[in-house]
C-alpha cells in the first residue's frame, strides 16, 4: 500500500468488527481472574480492547469501551446479585462501564490525533527537504518510531488513570478489577514490589499497546503485510521483555524475627440474610479455637497470636462480659492474644467496624479491665457505601426503599492508626512487641491503606474479612488475589482470614504458607517473617501513578491539538469515513 496522502485519515476498524472485539476483550480480562484463572487472558483482552478503540471516531470508541467494560464487569462482580438482586450489580457495573467508555473515547482522541499530527509533520517536512541535502536518519524514520511509542504510552497512561479514578470516585471508589490483579499468580507478581499496583498495570498495558500501535502505524504506510510483520516483531520484543521482567525478584527488606500465627475460620452463618441466632458467630469461632488449642496441646505446640475474622465477635464485645470472658479464657489457655473483629458503638451514636486485641493479661479473666481493649484498636477506614452506610439516603430510598432499609447502621470511617501493637505469646521466635497492620475487608484493595500500614511500621498484615454474603461465588477468591499481590507489594507476610473463606497465609513472595478450604471450620498455623522497611513500590508508587496520569493528559492534549490541525487542513470527518 502506498503512503497516505495529506488528506488521508488514520486507519481504524469498522464498527461492526470493533464492537465484538471489544466485548470479547472485556470477557478475556475476566477470564484472567479466578473465574478461569488464566493470567495470559489479560494480555489478550487488553490488546483486543485497544485494537477496538484505536484511531476510532469518538462515539464509536466510547461505545466500544462500554462494551469492553460490560464484558468485564458484568460477569466479574455478578456475586453482588446473590442476595441483593440485580439493582446493586447493575448500578456498580454501570459506573465502572462508564469509566471504560470514557477510556475508549480518550484513547481514540489521542491515538487518532497523534497519528494525524505526525502525518502533517511528515508532509510538511517532505516539502521543505526536497532541495536540501540527504540526511543520515530521515525524519520519517524518527516519526515512525516516536508515533507508536507516544500512542502506546498515552493509552497505557489512560488505562492506569481509569483505574485510579474508579478507585477514588464516587463514594470513595472501587479499586477492584485492576490489570495488575491478574498477575497475582502470574510471572510478573514480584515486579509489584518495585512498581506498585499502578506501575504494574501500566507496564502490562504498555506491553499490550506497543504491538497495536506499531501494527496500525505500519498499516497506514506499508499495507497489511508490512503491518503484520512489524507487529509480530513488536510482539517478539515484548515477549522477550516479559521474560526478562519475570526474572526480577521481589525487593529484599530487613527481617526482624518471626511470628507463629494461627488464624481461625469459624464457617459461620454470618451473611445479611443468614438464619442465625445472636451469639452464633462468636460461638462458632470459640468452638473452632478450642479445637485449635486441643490440637496444639496434643502436639506440644504453641503460637504467638490467634487471629479471628471481621465481625467474628459480633456486636460490642467489650460490653458483653460473658462473651469477653470466654475469649479471655481461650487467650489464657493459648498463652497468646486473640485479635478479633467486632462492631462498636461510639459515644456520639455512630458505629465502627473494628478490630480489638483480647488478652487475659490486659483485661483479666473477670472482665474488669475491659476498658483496656481500646488501647489496641483499629477502626475500619473504608466502610463500604450502600452496605455499611447509605450515602444520600433520602434520594436512594425514594428509588429502592426495600434495599436501602436493609442498611440500618451508619458506620463511620475510622481515624485511628492502621497498625496495632501486639504482645505475642512465648513460642520463642517473636520479639516482645509486634506491630501488625490491620485491613478489614475492602481496606486491603486501596493503595493508600497499604501506604498507611507500612508508614506506621507494620511488620506483618492481618487482613480480616467476612465473605459470607457472597456464598460460593468468586468474590472471596478475587479478594485473596488482591491480598496476595498486596503482600508482595508491601514485602510483608499477610494473613487473610475470612468467616467462611477463602482464607490463606501469604508470604512476602506471594507463596502460601497455609490455606483453608472454603465453608469449612478450621484453623491455619504458620510461622511468618516480621519485616521492617519500605519496598520501592511504597516509596515510589504514588509518583509512578502520577507519571502515568501525566503521560495520559499530555498525550490526549497533543492528540486533540493534532486532530484540530488536521481537521483544519482537510475538513470534517464524515460519518462512516474510513
Sheet hosting strand 512-516, strand order edge to edge = 419-422, 434-440, 460-465, 494-498, 503-506, 512-516
* pLDDT, tens only, 545-564: 999 999 999 999 999 998 88
The CA-based angle 173-174-178, given to 5 degrees, is: 125
User: For residue 416, which phi and psi values (nearest 5 degrees)?
Assistant: -75, 170
Model confidence at 503, in pLDDT bands (50, 70, 90)?
very high
Q: Can you read off the three cell numbers belonging to residue 561?
A: 491539538
Strands (E), 271-412: 305-307, 338-345, 351-358, 377-379
Q: In whole angstroms, what is the distance from residue 467 CA to residue 353 CA?
A: 15
* pLDDT, tens only, 453-480: 999 999 999 999 999 989 899 999 999 9
Q: In whole angstroms, what is the distance from residue 65 CA to residue 89 CA?
A: 19
Give the predicted TM-score (pTM) of the model. 0.91
Model confidence at 3, in pLDDT bands (50, 70, 90)?
very low
* pLDDT, tens only, 160-207: 999 999 999 999 999 999 999 999 999 999 999 999 999 999 999 999
For residue 473, the SS3 value is coil
Residue 135 confidence (pLDDT) above 70: no
Closest CA to 446 of 380, 398, 399, 390: 380
Helix (H) or strand (E) holding 313: none
> Which pLDDT score is estimated for 5?
44
Category of 23 on φ-ψ map: left (φ > 0), alpha (ψ -120 to 50) or beta: alpha
* pLDDT, tens only, 16-62: 999 999 999 999 999 999 988 899 999 999 999 999 999 999 999 99
Distances (CA, A) of 72 to 53, 197, 456, 478: 16, 19, 36, 14
* pLDDT, tens only, 323-350: 999 999 999 999 999 999 999 998 888 8
Residue 254 confidence (pLDDT) above 80: yes
* pLDDT, tens only, 95-110: 999 999 999 999 999 9
For 413, counting Cβ atoms within 10 Å of its Cβ (0-12 exposed, 13-18 middle, 19+ buried), the class is middle
Q: In whole angstroms, what is the distance from residue 576 CA to residue 562 CA?
A: 21
What Rg do the C-alpha atoms of the chain give, in angstroms? 27
For residue 271, the SS3 value is coil
Residue 2 confidence (pLDDT) above 60: no
Distances (CA, A) of 343 to 142, 313, 415: 62, 8, 15
Sheet hosting strand 522-532, strand order edge to edge = 377-379, 351-358, 338-345, 305-307, 254-265, 522-532
Q: What's the start-to-end Cα distance of the chain, in Å?
A: 15
Amino acid at each position: 500500500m502506498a503512503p497516505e496522502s495529506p488528506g488521508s485519515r488514520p486507519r481504524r476498524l469498522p464498527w461492526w468488527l470493533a464492537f465484538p472485539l471489544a466485548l470479547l476483550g472485556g470477557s478475556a480480562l475476566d477470564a484472567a481472574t479466578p473465574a478461569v484463572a488464566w493470567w495470559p487472558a489479560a494480555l489478550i483482552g487488553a490488546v483486543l480492547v485497544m485494537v477496538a478503540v484505536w484511531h476510532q471516531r469518538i462515539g464509536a470508541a466510547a461505545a466500544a469501551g462500554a462494551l469492553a467494560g460490560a464484558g468485564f464487569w458484568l460477569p466479574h462482580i455478578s456475586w453482588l446479585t446473590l442476595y441483593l438482586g440485580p439493582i446493586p450489580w447493575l448500578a456498580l457495573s454501570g459506573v465502572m462501564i462508564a469509566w471504560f467508555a470514557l477510556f475508549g473515547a480518550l484513547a481514540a482522541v489521542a491515538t487518532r490525533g497523534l497519528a494525524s499530527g505526525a502525518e502533517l509533520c511528515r508532509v510538511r517536512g517532505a516539502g521543505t527537504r526536497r532541495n536540501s541535502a540527504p540526511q543520515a536518519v530521515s525524519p520519517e524514520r524518527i516519526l515512525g518510531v516516536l508515533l507508536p511509542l507516544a500512542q502506546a504510552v498515552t493509552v497505557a497512561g489512560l488505562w492506569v488513570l481509569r483505574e485510579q479514578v474508579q478507585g477514588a470516585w464516587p463514594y470513595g471508589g472501587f479499586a477492584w478489577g485492576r490489570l495488575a490483579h491478574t498477575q497475582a499468580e502470574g510471572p510478573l507478581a514480584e515486579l509489584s514490589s518495585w512498581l506498585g499496583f499502578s506501575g504494574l498495570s501500566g507496564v502490562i498495558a504498555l506491553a499490550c499497546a506497543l504491538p497495536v500501535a506499531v501494527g496500525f502505524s505500519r498499516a497506514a504506510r506499508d499495507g497489511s503485510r508490512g503491518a503484520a510483520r512489524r507487529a509480530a516483531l513488536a510482539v517478539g520484543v515484548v515477549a522477550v521483555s516479559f521474560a526478562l521482567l519475570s526474572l526480577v525478584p521481589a525487593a529484599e527488606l530487613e527481617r526482624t524475627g518471626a511470628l507463629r500465627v494461627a488464624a481461625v475460620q469459624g464457617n459461620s452463618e454470618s451473611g445479611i440474610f443468614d438464619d442465625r441466632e445472636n451469639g452464633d458467630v462468636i460461638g462458632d469461632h470459640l468452638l473452632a479455637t478450642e479445637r485449635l488449642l486441643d490440637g496444639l496441646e496434643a502436639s506440644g505446640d504453641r503460637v504467638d497470636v490467634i487471629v479471628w475474622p471481621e465481625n467474628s465477635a459480633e456486636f460490642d464485645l467489650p460490653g458483653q462480659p460473658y462473651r469477653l470472658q470466654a475469649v479471655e479464657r481461650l487467650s489464657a489457655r493459648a498463652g497468646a492474644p486473640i485479635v478479633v473483629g467486632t462492631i462498636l458503638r461510639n459515644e456520639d451514636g455512630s458505629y465502627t467496624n473494628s478490630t480489638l486485641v483480647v488478652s487475659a493479661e490486659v483485661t483479666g479473666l473477670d472482665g474488669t479491665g475491659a476498658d483496656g481493649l481500646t488501647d489496641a484498636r483499629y477502626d475500619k477506614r473504608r466502610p463500604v457505601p450502600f452496605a455499611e452506610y447509605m450515602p444520600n439516603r433520602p434520594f436512594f430510598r425514594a428509588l429502592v426503599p426495600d434495599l436501602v432499609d436493609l442498611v440500618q447502621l451508619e458506620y463511620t470511617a475510622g481515624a485511628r492508626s492502621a497498625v496495632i501493637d501486639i504482645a505475642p505469646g512465648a513460642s520463642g521466635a517473636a520479639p516482645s512487641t509486634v506491630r501488625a497492620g490491620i485491613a478489614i475487608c475492602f481496606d486491603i484493595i486501596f493503595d493508600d491503606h497499604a501506604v498507611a500500614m507500612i508508614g506506621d511500621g507494620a511488620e506483618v498484615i492481618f487482613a480480616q474479612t467476612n465473605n459470607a454474603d457472597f456464598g460460593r461465588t468468586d468474590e472471596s477468591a478475587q479478594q485473596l488475589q488482591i491480598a496476595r499481590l498486596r503482600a508482595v507489594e508491601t514485602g510483608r507476610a499477610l494473613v487473610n482470614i475470612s468467616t467462611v473463606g477463602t482464607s490463606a497465609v501469604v508470604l512476602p513472595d506471594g507463596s502460601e504458607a497455609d490455606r483453608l478450604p472454603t465453608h469449612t471450620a478450621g484453623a491455619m498455623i504458620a510461622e511468618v517473617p516480621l519485616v521492617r522497611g519500605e519496598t520501592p513500590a511504597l516509596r515510589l508508587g504514588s509518583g509512578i501513578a502520577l507519571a502515568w496520569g501525566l503521560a495520559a493528559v499530555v498525550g490526549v492534549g497533543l492528540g486533540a491539538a493534532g486532530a484540530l490541525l488536521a481537521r483544519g487542513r482537510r475538513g470534517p470527518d464524515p460519518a462512516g469515513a474510513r
